[in-house]
Structure 1
Amino acid sequence: MAFLDNLKRSASTGEIILQRGGREVEFKKMQNRFSLRLKQGSVKTADALQSLCGPVDVSMRHIESLRVAQMDVFEVDDRTKLDNSMQILRASPHVDVVSHVYRLGESLSSEVIPTGIMTIQFKPEAKAREREKILEEFGLEVLEDLDFLPDGYFVKTTKQSTMNPLKTALKLQQYKEIRIAEPDIAFKVDYLHRPANPLYKHQWYLNNSGNQLSSIAGADVRAEEAWDITTGSRYIVICLIDDGFDLGDSRFNALGKIVASRDFKGSDFSQDEDLDLDGHGTACAGLALAKEDGQGIVGLAPKCAFMPITMPANITDRLFVAMFQHAMNENADVICCCWKARAEYFPLSTAMNAIIKKVAGEGRRNKKGCPILFAAGNDSSPLDGAKNDIHWLNGFAVHPDVIAVGASNSRDRQSSYSNWGPELAVCAPAGGGSNARSMVAAGARDSVGANSQFDGTSGAASIASGLAALILSVKPELGSAQVREIMMETADKIDPERGQYKDGHSPIYGHGRINAHRALKRAVQF
């Protein structure tokens, strides 16, 4: 769509179409909400905002605070006064950024907010003076040079900027010197589990003898046979990025087990009401690498080390980059993410795509790349395709360097919620489905107890990350592409009647349910 036509569309409908990571994304303006960031501090009530910035002729109320973006969201009662109220607030010397709130396409749950930061990538032939002239024209301040994106920069709008970040990006995308111009957005994530003892015999996903109700023998990852080869190495580090971790749990609290932990929630800017506090991160970590302590469950890679990265429920493109940079700088060997954006259609930004590519291709001490696993999602929908007239896209799971993991159940059938598609690499056991069992996983001690029922592709991805770590434990010189190849090549082709396998791949199970024993035997020979 031509720039002027798009700008007219924005003025008349509140919608704007931008390129994001090579995909078109429609931003739809919410007519009754705005967000703002103060130069100092924050405001939690409409009265406090007007006391600081002056009266605004509309009734409003505070909706939420975004910790990472340090922005507060307000809702007005009279939508006809929204734009005028925002103009008044922009004029205040106390205000840094005022922005509309948007939805992505038709999704009602995909609220996103431009943070005032942008990713710009110049074409290599653009000269320094041409670049500076463009930055000056749009009032943009350079925040950071991006080593993972050639000629790329994080920039920030300033008081000299005359357009909001979306319109600025739209116009910049027309410049011949510009390859990429994308606004950084704050978005919410969904942790991909379905919450539903300390006995190994209940961990059917590691060793399924078929003697429990709603299970069949062999619907597991062949853990015991794999452990005859290795239970992992403390020199191999699994990085889990999640909502929080109980690091005092005896299954993690051991000498040398926890390395390079990092909390990206930031200061106590706000109480994040959307944060899932029922032990999602702890449960995922338990499935991947809980050590044998004689008290609870054991992870698939119990002797591997653990790099916990804590994230808030609202993140930005830039924070995503920072989390992956930390994991790479601290030499994580495997990265596992058991969440997705809270949106049906969510393409990754160019910066997000680039940092995944860099970590997957150049990460780890040997610079041969770090395997990155993402849970496929629990929407019973395609990873990239149409369902019920809605186009679904999980940008994380469809990245070509990501190992996307779906879920199978205790009967070697598809877990009813698991997303599907040609991008699916493998599946791993998780709970769910008719006549199937839930999983048993480690949970937070002070909430749901030391063990909990835990269903979802989160569990599947966590177990698969344990396998990736076991492979590197026996063959640390492998690269990420080789680990992926081994996991797919040695997977069991379960449920052949329903699996729709073609050339060894099923849209429901990927290349099959992971088999840890076969994978380690193959790794030793690789």
Structure 2
Amino acid sequence: MATRFLPSSGGRARAIVFFCFMVVVWMLPTQARALPEQSSTPDDIPGMVAVDLEDSLSQPELEAFGSEFGVSLSPSSILSARTRIHAVTVARENVHALLERLRKDGRVQHVEPVAKVHARWVPNDPLFQEQWHIQRVGAIQAWQVSTGRGVTVAVVDTGVACENHEAFTISSDLADTWCKTGFNFVDNHPHATDDHGHGTHVAGTIAQSTHNGIGGSGLAFHARLLPIKVLNAQGWGTTLAVADGVRYAADAGAHVINLSLGGARASRILFDAIQYARSKGALVVAAAGNNGQFVEYPAAFEGVVAVAATDSQDRLASFSSWGPEVDLAAPGENVLQQTICNGGKDRCELFSKFSGTSMAAPHVSAAAALLMSLGVTEPGRVQAMLEASAEVPEGEIKGGPRFGQGIVQVGKAVRATVGVQAATRLALVFGLTAYVGRRIRRKGGFSRFWRPGFWLMALAFGPGLLAWAPIIVSRVSLPIDLLARPVPDWDLLLGVSVHRWLPLAHVLIPFSLSAVGFGIRWARPFIAGIAVGIAAYLGSVPLLELTTGNLISRLLLATWALINIAGCLWLAVLHLDEREVSS
């Protein structure tokens, strides 16, 4: 027979006392943290006030309240019938007086200005708050819409600690970064390991592994790094090595080439290499120099984006070169990223603050990667968009010799780009749909455009099914990014080089689907939607000058797009004509 163990009377008494103590503690009121008193904030909407009235007020009492204060109460939502929370709009100069009056009324529980709130994605990297430079260029706003997926950025420098080779090891905060196989032009082998530290620091600004709970963040953290070593352990190299590195980067498919290096020699060999890279569709970004005077080469070459350095107060850094060749400015003082020590061996690494135009240039390279990831693949167009969105410090002129077009603001650039793309493609979807309907009616047919399948596909292939998702949620997550992109942009995730051929924006896609699904009645609206969506997307590419630069290329692209658009619209008419379906 099993023995039963029962608590003693003393044990039971202690348990009862402990239980009663916990109940009392649980019932005690907790002291809530007091909310700050805010007279105004930058997010307040001018002239709008939120009023939370007592829930017991009846509708006649609400109307009387509004009449008493001379305001019109607008329900905040369908919940206002229960919450009695309303919005009031008055002249902005009367807001303060109204707030004071309402706060004295016993029927008012809360009254405050209505303010904007913004979707924000902030990485969990512990040093992110110290990276003033990443935040200064608008990283948090930019990450809502782009993280650099599909873009390859070549770092032509001292190498990058992103592989394990012999005594060299990958940096802990580059472990989640996509590093492609590069080349070492100092020792002539494929392992572009870093034995100095400069290149790893530069690469970190571009694509440091982010949101991994380690160290700091990179600006275009989903971009791919192509490390190319042209500078030795002492931090110098030759114009020949740099020229070879630039050519190698272009041939390896780099879309952006970062040159955080420079010298006094205007090497024609290096100039030709840069022009070669430009002809292959690469944007070349270079540090202006640290001599405090003239812009060095290769930054001073035509066709290179020359970057000056600024400090945390938006002043030109004391060491920064300046002159008419400067195109843009970016943070370059006390830039915090991970780098290597002990010559890159024995897993020696540290987070260090470097200063120089070498630190400024990768901010621009990363900004270019964020734009290219949105389908803006023509280098000149990328540069123009970065320059248009750049901000000039007070007292400076846009296009001046110190800041060029201004301090790069990639958050503004990418958000404007996404907005224009989505609005243009949505307008084209509606316009082309109206055109298709008119064509069907002129043929004596009829159509039902309200079919959900048609609009689902038209939006998915045109502006993107969740094109405005960044208003609510960040596109850092791959599924959200895919749904926010139009389907013809999905090839960007394979690489910008693939997207330049627009393989997913082609009349052959709806044509192939027609060959299979024309006889399936329910499938025809879907195929018609795909055709209209592709036509809208194709119409936006030459219109927004996204992929080509010179006039001849644009004309060829426009001709090719028009041919495909005509084919897509013919297929849409065929699939949406209910007379064809019933016959």
TM-score normalised by length of structure 2: 0.46
Distance 1:317 1:281, change over 3 A: closer
CA offset at residue 309 of structure 1?
Answer: 0.3
Unaligned runs of 5+ in 1: 1-196, 208-219, 269-274, 364-368, 384-393, 432-437
Aligned residue type for 1:238: V
| SS of 2:179 mapped into structure 1 | coil
Find 2:131's aligned residue among 196, 203, 216: 203
| SS of 2:146 mapped into structure 1 | coil
1:245 is matched with 160
Distance 1:312 1:483, change over 3 A: same
1:310 is matched with 229
CA offset at residue 410 of structure 1?
Answer: 0.4
| SS of 1:481 mapped into structure 2 | helix
Distance 1:348 1:229, change over 3 A: same
Contact 1:249 1:445 in 2 (8 A): no
Q: Which has the higher contact order (CA 8 A, sep 6+)?
A: 1
The number of aligned residues is 278
Contact 1:377 1:419 in 2 (8 A): yes
Contact 1:260 1:330 in 2 (8 A): no
Q: Deviations over 1:14-50 (max 9, x none)?
A: xxxxxxxxxxxxxxxxxxxxxxxxxxxxxxxxxxxxx
Identity of aligned residues (%): 27
Contact 1:335 1:373 in 2 (8 A): yes
| SS of 1:378 mapped into structure 2 | coil
Find 2:338's aligned residue among 434, 442, 451: 442
| SS of 1:474 mapped into structure 2 | coil
- Mapping for residues 359-438 of structure 1, pairs under 5 Å: 359-360=277-278, 362-363=279-280, 369-383=281-295, 394-431=296-333, 438=334
Find 1:485's aligned residue among 379, 384, 387: 384
Q: Deviations over 1:146-182 (max 9, x none)?
A: xxxxxxxxxxxxxxxxxxxxxxxxxxxxxxxxxxxxx
Aligned residue type for 1:430: G
Aligned residue type for 1:202: E
Aligned residue type for 2:391: D
- Mapping for residues 117-266 of structure 1, pairs under 5 Å: 198-207=126-135, 220-233=136-149, 235-247=150-162, 248-254=170-176, 257-266=178-187
| SS of 1:286 mapped into structure 2 | helix
2:198 is matched with 280
Aligned residue type for 1:305: R
Contact 1:426 1:509 in 2 (8 A): yes
Distance 1:249 1:449, change over 3 A: closer
How far apart, CA to CA, are the structure 1 residues paired with 2:171 and 2:154?
17
CA offset at residue 326 of structure 1?
Answer: 1.1
Contact 2:290 2:319 in 1 (8 A): yes
CA offset at residue 475 of structure 1?
Answer: 1.6
| SS of 1:319 mapped into structure 2 | helix
1:99 is matched with none
Contact 1:287 1:298 in 2 (8 A): yes
How far apart, CA to CA, are the structure 2 residues paired with 1:421 and 1:267?
36
1:319 aligns with 2:241: yes
How far apart, CA to CA, are the structure 2 residues paired with 1:267 and 1:323?
11
- Mapping for residues 33-182 of structure 1, pairs under 5 Å: none
How far apart, CA to CA, are the structure 2 residues paired with 1:471 and 1:423?
23
2:409 is matched with 515
1:294 aligns with 2:206: no
More helix by share: 2
Unaligned runs of 5+ in 2: 1-124, 163-169, 421-543, 545-583
| SS of 1:443 mapped into structure 2 | strand
CA offset at residue 251 of structure 1?
Answer: 2.8
Distance 1:323 1:278, change over 3 A: closer
Aligned residue type for 1:508: R
1:54 is matched with none
Contact 1:397 1:423 in 2 (8 A): yes
TM-score normalised by length of structure 1: 0.50
Report the RMSD for the aligned CA atoms in angstroms. 2.2
Distance 1:417 1:317, change over 3 A: closer
Aligned residue type for 1:356: I
How far apart, CA to CA, are the structure 1 residues paired with 2:314 and 2:239?
37
CA offset at residue 318 of structure 1?
Answer: 3.6
How far apart, CA to CA, are the structure 2 residues paired with 1:398 and 1:306?
25
Find 1:340's aligned residue among 255, 259, 262: 262
How far apart, CA to CA, are the structure 1 residues paired with 2:352 and 2:134?
16
How far apart, CA to CA, are the structure 2 residues paired with 1:276 and 1:323?
15
Distance 1:265 1:376, change over 3 A: same
How far apart, CA to CA, are the structure 2 residues paired with 1:264 and 1:492?
38
Aligned residue type for 1:347: A
Q: Deviations over 1:466-513 (max 9, x none)?
A: 10100101124x21111111111110111x32x3x2xx2121111000
Aligned residue type for 2:159: G
Q: Deviations over 1:323-360 (max 9, x none)?
A: 1221111100100011112xxx42222x3222211211
How far apart, CA to CA, are the structure 2 residues paired with 1:302 and 1:311?
24
Aligned residue type for 1:264: F
**For the pair shown, which has the larger CA radius of gyration, 1 or 2?**
2
How far apart, CA to CA, are the structure 1 residues paired with 2:417 and 2:273?
27
Contact 1:475 1:523 in 2 (8 A): no
| SS of 1:251 mapped into structure 2 | helix
How far apart, CA to CA, are the structure 1 residues paired with 2:293 and 2:409?
25
